[in-house]
Structure 1
C-alpha cells in the first residue's frame, strides 16, 4: 500500500513510519524536519506545511493517510495550532478524496462514566488540557461527517515510558470503543511500538471508518 504519515518524526509518528516500512508498504513521511526521518528504500521524506493551500495535492494517490500531527504538548499555542493544522488536514483529505484518514487523537475524550469524559475529571493534568480539548473538539466535529473518510484512534491513558508504562513491543493489543480501557482499577496503557502495530493493522484493514476507537495492551 501507499501510505502517508503526517507528523512523521513525532513520538507516535516515528513509530508508525517504522512499523509500516517494516511491513514493506511505500511510506511517504511528512515532517517539518525531514532529516529526522528514518532512511529506507521504501520511505520518502517530504517537508511540507499542512497549512499550505496546496497540501491536498500532496495527498493525492495514497491508499491511506495517518495523521499523527501535534504541534507539541509544551507549545503554549497548542490549542490554536492543533485546530488549524487538523482542520487543514481534514480539508485536504476531503479534497484529495483520501480513502482512509486515520487521525491519532488523545485519551481525554474517552468516557469514564456516562456523559463524563476523562478530560473533565478532577485529576486530568492541567498542563495538557488545551491540547486534549482541541482533539476532543475535532472528534466532535468529525462524528457526524460522511464527506471525509475519517477514523479516529485514542491511545489509552498511559502511553509509553513517559506515562509510566513500558516501551516493550509485545505485538499484542486489545481494542475498545469510546470508553477508557482499564487494567483492573487502574487506567490501561500501551507501548508506542504496540500502538503503532494497532495503527498499522487498522490502516491496512480500514477497519473503523467513521468511528472512534481505542487500544491498550493485553
Structure 2
C-alpha cells in the first residue's frame, strides 16, 4: 500500500485514477476544488486545494507519488495561461516537497506523427483545443532536461473514451509507447479512461518512467 495524491481528483481522468488506486488498496488523497464530488471510500481522503496557493508544497509532503491530472477546463478561454501557471505551481510544489514521483497527465498533441512533426502541428488538429495542447507541449519541453524534480509525463492516445470516439469499456489491458502517436492500423489508437487509469496506477506503483514521457493505448 502506498500513499498517493491525485490532483484534479474529480476530472475525467483524475476521478478514474482515484477509483483505480483506491480499488488496489492504496491510501489516496484527492485534491479537488469540489471535494463533495471526490470518490467516497474508506481509503480516500478529499482535500480542497488551490494549486497556486503558497502553501501547496506543504500539502504534497509525505506521499510516495503524486498524479497531476490538473486541467483548468477545455472550455476555459484562458486555458493556455491557466494551465501553464497551475502546472508550474504543481511542479515547484513537488520540487519543494521532494515528491519521489510526479506523474503529469498531458495530452496527445505533443506526440509525434513524423520526424519533427507533432500531432498539434497537423492541419486537422482542432483549433478550439490548440491553446491547451500547446501549453502542455511547452510544459513537456521545459521538463525534459530537469532533474531537480522527479517528473514523468503520460500522453493519452488521440481517442480517449467515448468523447474521443473510442469506448468506456474497461478491458484491463493496454500497450505502451514512447514519443510517437500509437496507431490502430491507419487510424489513431484509443483507450477507455478506465484502462488509462490502470496504466497510470501501474506506472506510479513502479515509478516506471522517471524523467520520461510515455503513451498508452488499447491492445
Unaligned runs of 5+ in 2: none
Unmatched 5+ stretches in structure 1: none
Distance 1:203 1:60 in 2: 16
Q: Shift of the alpha carbon at 1:54? A: 0.6
Map of 2:194 onto structure 1: 193
CA distance, structure 2, for counterparts of residue 107 and residue 62 of structure 1:
27
SS in 1 for 2:70: coil
Partner in structure 2 of residue 168 of structure 1: 169
Show CA shifts across 1:101-150 (max 9, x none): 00000000000000000000000011100000000000000000000000
The within-5 A match list for 1:1-218 is 1-218=2-219
| 3-state SS of 1:29 partner | strand
CA distance in 2, matches of 1:75, 1:145: 29
How many residues of Structure 1 are paired with residues of Structure 2 in the alignment? 218
RMSD: 0.3
How far residue 168 of structure 1 moved from its aligned partner, in angstroms, is: 0.3
Once residues 155 and 95 of structure 2 are traced to their aligned partners in structure 1, the CA distance between those partners, rounded to angstroms, is: 21
TM-score normalised by L of structure 1: 1.00
Divergent runs of 4+, >6 A:
none
